[in-house]
Amino acid sequence: MAATLSSLSFLDPQIQNLSFQFHQPRSFTTRPFHFNKTPLSTFKLSSSHSHSPDPFYTGRFLTDNEHRNLNFLETFLYSHQLQSGSMWVRVMRPHEIDLTVRLLADSFAESMLLPAAYLNVLRFLVKQYLVERRTLMPHMATLVGFYKEEEEEVQLAGTVEVCFDKRGANVSLPSPTPPLDSPYICNMAVLKSLRRRGIGWHLLKASEELISQMSSSRDVYLHCRMIDAAPFNMYTKADYKIVKTDSILVLLMLQRRKHLMCKKLPLSSTPSETDLSVSDM
């Protein structure tokens, strides 16, 4: 599947407008950027928190309720045994930002058919975005999914962003715009070599499970581009319904048309054991 950022909440105005700025590369090259070229699959991932004395430090004052929610995010864990291996999902730690940036930026570049020359720029913008968004926890969270086959090393398999309320909402949401005070799922990406194993499905289920614990609202929204048939099939099987579709006029702005989709979560949400044949992501 080519388009891995199936929810398509573009990360910020800089990335939204990236396609319009290709003829002005100087605005992006004030200094060179260097990135490790080692394949993602070769990285060893650690669950240790020793990289930071406080891996969920937000840099701002928290209310008692925010502090409780932040503690819950730190302990949240979704796990599932797939036919091909084991998968678990939790909130991204600071030492995992660079790996998440590479996965997200590479998937985003693939879905937008960006030239390879702009990949480093995109990674830079994505890292800025992830670092800034982390300061909004516990009103949002970036989830990372790990995958392990027998006798193989653990791999960072996917990522997804979840917003729980208005304070965690992205200010640059794409059209059609969802309600800012409702939970929102976006920026889902799956490592290319691990697609079609059900990883995208379980990133979605983990997001819903977390939302059911963190938000009083049961209406969950996401975007899906009209050209992304596989993600759309996955969302419809997960009971998401089309609420609104972009006007054809967005094509004049060199943007893809998108569906805004919504699902009402049950009062008590648990990880789904059904329809594990959904393996498009």
- Choice among 78, 118, 235, 240 that is catalytic: 235
Degrees (nearest 5) of the Cα angle 1, 250, 188? 35
Degrees (nearest 5) of the Cα angle 205, 153, 71? 45
Instruction: State the greatest distance between any 2 C-alpha atoms of the chain, in Å, as a whole number.
Output: 52
CA distances 204 to 133, 198, 210, 281, Å, are: 20, 10, 10, 10
Q: What are the strands, taking DSSP E only, across 73-201?
A: 78-81, 86-91, 140-148, 155-163, 184-190
Checking phi first, is residue 80 left (phi over 0); if not, alpha (psi -120 to 50) or beta?
beta
Q: What is the DSSP letter of 141?
A: E
For residue 85, the cross-strand partners are: none
Check: CB of residue 1 under 8 Å from CB of residue 188.
no
Per-position DSSP letters for 71-103, written without gaps between them: HHHHH--EEEE-SSSEEEEEEPPGGGHHHHHHH
Degrees (nearest 5) of the Cα angle 202, 207, 211? 150
Sorted by sequence, the CB contacts under 8 Å of residue 48 that are 6+ apart come out as none
Which tokens sit at 25?
């590369």
Active site residue 240: no
User: Active-site positions?
Assistant: 235
